[in-house]
Amino acid sequence: MSLGLATIAARAASGKTLEETLILDVGELIGITDHFVITGGRNDRQVRAVLDEVQKAVRAAGGKLLRSEGLRDLKWVLLDYGDFVVHVFEQEARSYYGLERLWADSDRLEFDPEGDDALSAPASRR
């Protein structure tokens, strides 16, 4: 279920931004969550639009937001759904913090931004 909801979140985000959206399988590396969805926006308005769309889509699919952080400055916003965490970055903050590099040992999961399937196979380890 968590992978399906993470995919829904990734699809919702990718529909609102031109920034790369990805899903990382981090479960075996950290044990407190299964997946990270990482995405971003070019400015705070786009970050807000991405956040709103993700929350709306996940809620409609039955997901429940447990907590959020970073909503005040919209540079790095974290939406914690328990089994997966959505990270929405402003462009400069994403480059600075480099979560993709930090979690390079995790599998990057491919998803079709417009598809109906839950998810395709792991793409690669970066």
In a domain? residue 38: yes
**How far, in Å, CA of 117 to CA of 100, rounded?**
24
Predicted confidence band of residue 120 (pLDDT cuts 50, 70, 90)? very low
In a domain? residue 72: yes
Q: SS3 for 25?
A: strand
In a domain? residue 124: no
What does the pLDDT look like over 96-114, one tens digit per residue? 999 999 999 999 999 988 8
In a domain? residue 126: no
pLDDT at residue 2, rounded to an integer: 79
Ranges 61-65, 69-73, 117-121: which has the least confidence: 117-121
In a domain? residue 116: no
pLDDT at residue 116, rounded to an integer: 62
Instruction: Say if residue 56 is exposed, middle or buried (CB neighbours under 10 Å; 0-12, 13-18, 19+).
Output: exposed
**How far, in Å, CA of 75 to CA of 88, rounded?**
8
C-alpha dist (Å) from residue 52 to 71, 72, 84: 11, 14, 17
Name the residue with higher pLDDT: 113 or 83. Answer: 83
Q: What is the CATH number of the domain that holds 103?
A: 3.30.460.10
Return the number of other C-beta atoms located less than 10 Å from residue 37's C-beta: 29
What percent of the chain is predicted at pLDDT more than 70?
Answer: 90
Task: Please state the domain count of the chain.
Answer: 1
In a domain? residue 41: yes
Q: Report the pLDDT averaged over residues 119-123.
A: 47
Between vectors from CA 58 to CA 30 and to CA 10, what angle results, nearest 5°?
65
In a domain? residue 50: yes
> Does the pLDDT at position 40 exceed 70?
yes
Q: Report the pLDDT averaged over residues 15-36.
A: 94
- Residue numbers of the domain that contains 30: 2-109
In a domain? residue 103: yes
